[in-house]
Amino acid sequence: MERALDPTHIVLVRGVLAVWAAMVGLALSPSAAVPVGFAQTPAATRLVVGDGDAREEEAAGFQEDVEFLERQSRWLRQVIKRVRPSVVHIEAERQARTARYAYRTLEEAGSGIIITHRGRFFVLTNRHVVKDSPLEKIQIRLEDGTRLEAQAIWSDQSTDIALLEVAGGGLEPARLGNSDQVDIGDFVLAVGSPFGLSHSVTFGIISAKGRRDLELGDDGLRLQDFLQTDAAINPGNSGGPLLNVRGEVIGINTAIASASGGSEGIGFAIPINMAMRVAEQLLEKGRVDRAYLGVQLDSQFTAAKALELGLSQRRGAHVTGLTPGSPAERAGIREGDIILAFDGVAIEDDNHLVNQVGLTPIGKEVQVQIWRRGQSLSVPVRVEARSRYEPETVRQ
């Protein structure tokens, strides 16, 4: 449960402290600290004894650095002030079986952001934060302590996205960015409730994009396309926003890679574009329809087989069959082809292709690059809903 804190408490890491340390090191450099008469070089003596202009120049440079840091701090405060009203703290309880007839209560803490859809308000968060929790056991709280009641819940297991409908006056939805425009090195802020400490803020950069095939427990998170960040993310940050420098949400903090259970500088966030595509389908249809290509793939595609088919190395997904009447068959893809790229993304293996297809909007026409008999070809394919070919039961 949450510990009492000053409501304006903000945890800021990295960046600012590092710059301050560098400044202090400069201000206490040997040339500035040598007493008069003890300088070891003429240059040092001139700087300390008689060069008033050098002192003034150094002081002016120091003042510029201080003003730069103050501007950075004002920017951070403004971004956080804009964002905090649309971030919620979530606490959920559920019953977990410990023996054949025994149960115990498990508590989960996390975060979420407020979004709107057709004039209604929802909290967007991770499914694992509220999984198996009755609505009456889910507590949602704004920054100012206002409590919101969860009225309905939707979730998608394959992407770990959940939505809670809430009601209340004066709710402020989060500003959403475009995660497709995010790049490695971009500065980001992570907001959440690490260890139950609600509305905490950390600072870092985007370390990598397109992380997938992560081992994230047994919850069935199959479709992965994570942003990786070194902004500190800890247990309780799940569902909270990853923000760009404009204060726009570009991701939903979801998981960490850690040997200790705490932050070790490797956190993962679901891109907001992907999260919103899932959310919109859940609200419009009550389920998520996945895009479908209609190919069967060789899970044992080896480097030796790739060389045999004319590739210099193992890459792509090897087609071993097609679904009759599927988008792939109608586009002219054949058994034996190797899919090298899908919608401009180089395909590494069969799992990568499954992820890319599943994350593609239904009805979109994409270019598929294939390798056939020593030649590279490109064919247009319009993906369709998987439910037309393979009815899928969506767990909520």
* Residue (of 393, 389, 367) closest to 378 by Cα position: 367
* Residue among 111, 133, 155, 160 flagged as catalytic: 160
- Would you say 168 and 150 are in contact if contact means Cβ atoms under 8 Å apart? no
Catalytic residue among 238, 263, 326, 352: 238
Q: Of 86, 89, 111, 128, which residue is the catalytic one?
A: 128
* Residue 181 backbone dihedrals phi, psi, to 5 degrees: -95, 0
Does 238 qualify as catalytic in the annotation?
yes
Structure tokens, 179? 């995660």
- Can you give the C-alpha Rg of the chain in angstroms? 27
Rounded-to-integer distance, Cα 170 and Cα 102, Å: 43
3-class secondary structure, 28: coil
Secondary structure of residue 85 in the 3-state scheme: helix
- The letter for the amino acid at 20 is W
Contact 251, 268 (CB under 8 A): no
d(CA 161, CA 278): 7
Task: Determine whether 160 is an active site residue.
Answer: yes
Using alpha carbons, select from 306, 304, 308, 292 the residue that is nearest to residue 387: 292
| Burial environment of residue 103 by CB neighbours within 10 A (0 to 12, 13 to 18, 19 or more) | exposed
Enzyme catalytic residues = 128, 160, 238
